[in-house]
Amino acid sequence: MASAKLTAKDLLTLGFPSGKPVTIALQLIDTYYTDLARNHQIELLQDVLTAPEQYKLQATLGPLAQAILTQKSSGPIELKPGKQKFAIYGGENIEGGALHQMELAMRLPIAQAGALMPDAHQGYGLPIGGVLATHNVAIPYGVGVDIGCRMCMSIYDIHTGFIDKNQDKLKKMLLDNTRFGHTSFKRPMNHPVMDRPEFSELPIVREMKDRAYQQLGTSGGGNHFVEFGTVEIHDVNNDHDLPKGKYLAILSHSGSRRLGANIAGYYTKVAMDACQLPPDAKHLAWLDLDTEAGQEYWLAMNLAGDYASACHHQIHERLANKLTEQPMAVIENHHNFAWKEKDATGKEVIVHRKGATPAGKGVMGIIPGSMATPGFIVRGKGEAASINSASHGAGRLMSRTEAKKTLSLPQVRKYLQKAGVDVLGSGLDEAPMVYKDINKVMASQQDLVEVVGTFHPKIVRMNGDEKYIEVD
DNA sequence: ATGTCC
């Protein structure tokens, strides 16, 4: 009898090409060879792998042999040789790994143009802070795991002193009306996005519907937050007729939760099966938008984006209800997404922004700093070289593990106290000092955006034990 | 980012 069941990982270790050969091999074992001892199962599969020609006409092992042969004969897609040009902003403070990933992405045969934002750092496939324009293909890892990760700010005609006078009340308001990480609301509010046909039509999305409903109106972990702060409007040209002045604002950062993560994971695998790239570029696998899988991904990605937007709107709605006020303006934008846009010559391109703020001419957006440094309301300048994009934040200076190793709670509490910021939840890995200087980052993208308003966080809620960083 | 391994 077989002992430990063979897994995909075992087969990859044996040198099976990922994708169809692995899938078929596991199916064959499950269907015909469950009685065979594990080592004999492995021997059998290895025989087919080393000499697929001898097995290709066999009834049972034929399909596996064929899949291996197809993979071998097609070979990986070739990358363009040499360095391709792309614009880099704030390059003196961008890590080598992110730069290398962007250089690699530019060599894809489907790459039309690219740019690297000043907050860039290494990710899977495209770097975070990477922008890539392609023609009629979508790269799931060019969008990222958290599809539709976005910012939303509501601005209230409430004087800023209200925050200091109502500290405890506002803290409780955040604790009662936001949920982070693995927690969710006992009774989620419904939202029209849950009635979208994609929830019944796309298999991978259908499986996620219950979880998506459960997570409606919640925020994620890591760098996600909901905070009260003050915003100063410097420029009346702001799309919302906001007069110059100081206002109370609520700012949120979150994405599409488990729904988007599963969509990203599933379609990345589909892409990697359909699009074989050299090993170091494999996470940049794409889906042709004329194929069924490509169209499915496009629909699912857009759904995840709308779902993420719905989550933010519910967060802001809950808080607006408690404040018994309606905002004067709401400014929001995705920063992990792909859009159909026109390039300078009028040709339609798919613009992937993985941790980048849309900054077309006149387009409003939000670029946050950290829990204790300013964030900015910006208006895009429509700079073609940046593919109408800007950074999505300050960018990390220190890894999470390094932060936990080198920083201490008293040190961070002192910093927050000095900055006059209250933090509920979070941890050392999100401390302000793990991020680049947001003012320098903004300075390096003056050609990309104009600053319309400056936001200062005052009461911040993030994932984790509410008492962890709390300074009071 | 994510109940972080198909």
pLDDT (tens digit per residue) in A21-70? 888 899 999 899 989 998 899 999 999 998 999 998 999 999 999 988 88
Is position A145 within any domain? no
Residues 158-197, chain A: which have Cβ under 7 A from strand B?
A: 181-182
Is position A126 within any domain? no
| CB A119 within 7 Å, strand B | no
Is position A97 within any domain? no
Q: What's the whole-model pTM score? A: 0.86
Rounded to the nearest angstrom, the gap between the alpha carbon of residue A219 and the centroid of all alpha carbons in its chain is: 13
Say how far A8 CA is from B5 C1', in Å: 9
C-alpha distances in angstroms, A390 versus A119, A264, A327?
9, 23, 26
d(CA A325, CA A458): 19
Residue A468: predicted pLDDT = 84
Residue A443: predicted pLDDT = 98
Query: How many other C-beta atoms lie within 10 A of the C-beta of residue A235?
Result: 13
- What are the φ and ψ backbone dihedral angles of A469, each rounded to 5 degrees? -105, -10
**Shortest-distance nucleotide from A18 CA to C1':** B6
| CB A223 within 7 Å, strand B | yes
Instruction: Say if residue A54 is in the same domain as residue A162.
Output: no
Instruction: Say if residue A35 is in the same domain as residue A180.
Output: no
Instruction: Say if residue A183 is in the same domain as residue A289.
Output: yes
With distances taken from each CA to the C1' atom of nucleotide B3, the closest residue turns out to be A182
Structural domain boundaries enclosing A63: 8-73
**Pick from A414, A438, A427: nearest CA to A460:** A427
| CB A146 within 7 Å, strand B | yes
Strands A329-334 and A150-156: antiparallel
Residues 426-465, chain A: which have Cβ under 7 A from strand B?
A: 463
Is position A223 within any domain? yes
Instruction: Say if residue A53 is in the same domain as residue A159.
Output: no
Instruction: Say if residue A40 is in the same domain as residue A187.
Output: no
| CB A252 within 7 Å, strand B | no
Instruction: Say if residue A445 is in the same domain as residue A331.
Output: yes
Q: Could you say which nucleotides of strand B lie within 7 A of any protein CB atom?
A: 1-3, 5-6
Q: Is A392 one of the annotated active-site residues of the chain?
A: yes
Instruction: Say if residue A394 is in the same domain as residue A265.
Output: yes
Residue A276: predicted pLDDT = 87
Residue A68: predicted pLDDT = 87
| CB A221 within 7 Å, strand B | yes
Residue A3: predicted pLDDT = 59
Indicate which CATH number applies to the domain containing A446.
3.90.1860.10
| Burial zone of A74 (CB within 10 Å; 0-12 exposed, 13-18 middle, 19+ buried) | exposed
Residue A174: predicted pLDDT = 97
pLDDT (tens digit per residue) in A227-286? 999 999 999 999 999 999 999 999 999 999 999 999 999 999 999 988 989 989 999 999
In chain A, how many domains are there? 2
Amino acid at A454: T
Say how far A158 CA is from B4 C1', in Å: 41
Query: How many other C-beta atoms lie within 10 A of the C-beta of residue A470?
Result: 15
Is position A93 within any domain? no
Residue A1: predicted pLDDT = 47
Say how far A244 CA is from B2 C1', in Å: 41
Of A54, A73, A92, which residue is a domain's last? A73
Of A73, A104, A119, which residue is a domain's last? A73
- Residue spans of alpha helices (H) in A75-228: 96-106, 140-143, 161-165, 167-177, 198-201, 203-206, 209-214
Is position A114 within any domain? no
Say how far A392 CA is from B3 C1', in Å: 27
Instruction: Say if residue A66 is in the same domain as residue A157.
Output: no
Residue A2: predicted pLDDT = 43
d(CA A301, CA A196): 13
Query: How many other C-beta atoms lie within 10 A of the C-beta of residue A285?
Result: 26
Instruction: Say if residue A196 is in the same domain as residue A294.
Output: yes
Percent over 90 (pLDDT), chain A: 85
d(CA A455, CA A469): 21
With distances taken from each CA to the C1' atom of nucleotide B2, the closest residue turns out to be A261
**Pick from A135, A128, A137: nearest CA to A335:** A128
d(CA A270, CA A61): 23
Is position A130 within any domain? no
Instruction: Say if residue A165 is in the same domain as residue A62.
Output: no
Burial track A293-319 (b if 16+ CB lie within 10 A, e otherwise): bbebbbbbbbbbbbbbbbbbbbbbebb
- Residues 6 or more apart whose CB falls under 8 angstroms from that of A108 comprise A79, A80, A134, A277, A281, A284, A286
| CB A145 within 7 Å, strand B | yes
Instruction: Say if residue A27 is in the same domain as residue A167.
Output: no
Q: What is the pLDDT along chain A (472 residues), one digit of tens a residue?
A: 445 788 877 887 777 876 678 888 999 998 999 899 988 999 999 999 989 999 989 999 999 999 888 877 777 889 999 899 999 999 999 999 999 999 999 999 999 999 999 999 999 999 999 999 999 999 999 999 999 999 999 999 999 999 999 999 999 999 999 999 999 999 999 999 999 999 999 989 999 999 999 999 999 999 999 999 999 999 999 999 999 999 999 999 999 999 999 999 999 999 998 898 998 999 999 999 999 999 999 999 999 999 999 999 999 999 999 999 999 999 999 999 999 999 989 999 999 999 999 999 999 999 999 999 999 999 999 999 999 999 999 999 999 999 999 999 999 999 999 999 999 999 999 999 999 999 999 999 999 999 999 999 999 999 998 888 887 6
Find the Cα–Cα–Cα–Cα dihedral A107, A109, A110, A113, rounded to 10°. 40
Say how far A59 CA is from B1 C1', in Å: 44
Of A73, A102, A124, which residue is a domain's last? A73
Is position A137 within any domain? no
Instruction: Say if residue A286 is in the same domain as residue A406.
Output: yes
Say how far A123 CA is from B4 C1', in Å: 15
C-alpha distances in angstroms, A27 versus A8, A32, A244, A270, A387?
11, 9, 65, 17, 45
Identify the three-state secondary structure at position A121. strand
